[in-house]
Amino acid sequence: IDYQSNSGQFDNLTDYTFEVRGLMGYDIPVRSSRITPFAGVGWRYLNNALDQSPSGGGYERESMYFYIPVGLEPNTDLKNNWTVQLKAEYDIFIEGTQKSHLEDVNSGYNTIDNTQKDGMGARGSIRVIKAMEQMDFFVEPFFRYWKVDDSTTDPWTFNGTQIGTGMEPRNWTR
């Protein structure tokens, strides 16, 4: 990924994202279609390896979000075993944590551990399915978005002495 912030521009970095979600829904038949409202719980982990920047000066950042996904999934059967599914989802942000491993810049610095309280997510997709005898084939372009507001502040120390405070500024992921 490419990452830009007040502290600089970092290009071609490794980025890891994992999500664990549990969803429940109920199918409502409507003619040759169905609509499925759903809701659940989710956990998202993001690791920006800014410490691996070829230009140096970066540090590892870890984000964890707890959220409630709610959405709607209409499904329409077409002719010749074709199906189209749409999905629209809003993610209610519960809480997040942000760990900034400043010790990657200088071993005297501490890890800043901030709490994030406000934000939101959204996702949408369209899936086109061709049902065949032995298997189904599908294509599903999607879009995911997160916007999280400023975090709380946390002490920033050097060798145990506070030298300031740190926060995770408002950010977004597309």
d(CA 94, CA 117): 7
What local confidence, expressed as pLDDT, does residue 25 receive?
A: 97
CA distance 84 to 49: 38
Alpha-carbon gap, residue 17 to 10, rounded angstroms? 18
Residue 56, pLDDT > 90, answer no
Q: Which long-range contacts (CB under 8 A, 24 or more apart) does 51-56 make?
A: 51/101, 51/104, 52/13, 52/14, 53/10, 53/13, 54/12, 55/8, 55/10
Mean pLDDT in residue range 78-101: 95
pLDDT in tens, 61-88: 899 999 999 999 999 999 999 999 999 9
Of 11-15, 62-66, 100-104, the one with minimum mean pLDDT is: 11-15
Q: What is the pLDDT of residue 14?
A: 77
Q: Residue 49: pLDDT above 90?
A: no
Share of the chain above pLDDT 90, in %: 75
The answer for 108, left when phi > 0, alpha when psi is -120 to 50, beta otherwise, is alpha
pLDDT at 52: 65
- How far the first Cα of the chain sits from its last, in Å, is 11
Res. 9: pLDDT tops 80: no
pLDDT of residue 87: 97
Residue-level pLDDT at 95 = 96
Q: Which residue is associated with the tokens 């409630």?
A: 68
pTM (predicted TM-score): 0.84
Cα separation values, 18 from 11, 45, 50, 99, 104, Å: 21, 5, 18, 16, 23
And the tokens for 168?
């995770």
How confident is the model over 17-32, as a mean pLDDT?
A: 94
Residue with tokens 């369209």: 126
Mean pLDDT of the region 31-54: 87
The model's confidence at residue 31, banded by pLDDT at 50, 70 and 90, is: confident
At residue 104, φ and ψ (nearest 5 deg) are: -70, -25
Q: What pLDDT band is residue 140 in, cutting at 50, 70 and 90?
A: very high
- Can you give the pLDDT at residue 12? 74
Mean pLDDT of all residues belonging to the chain: 91
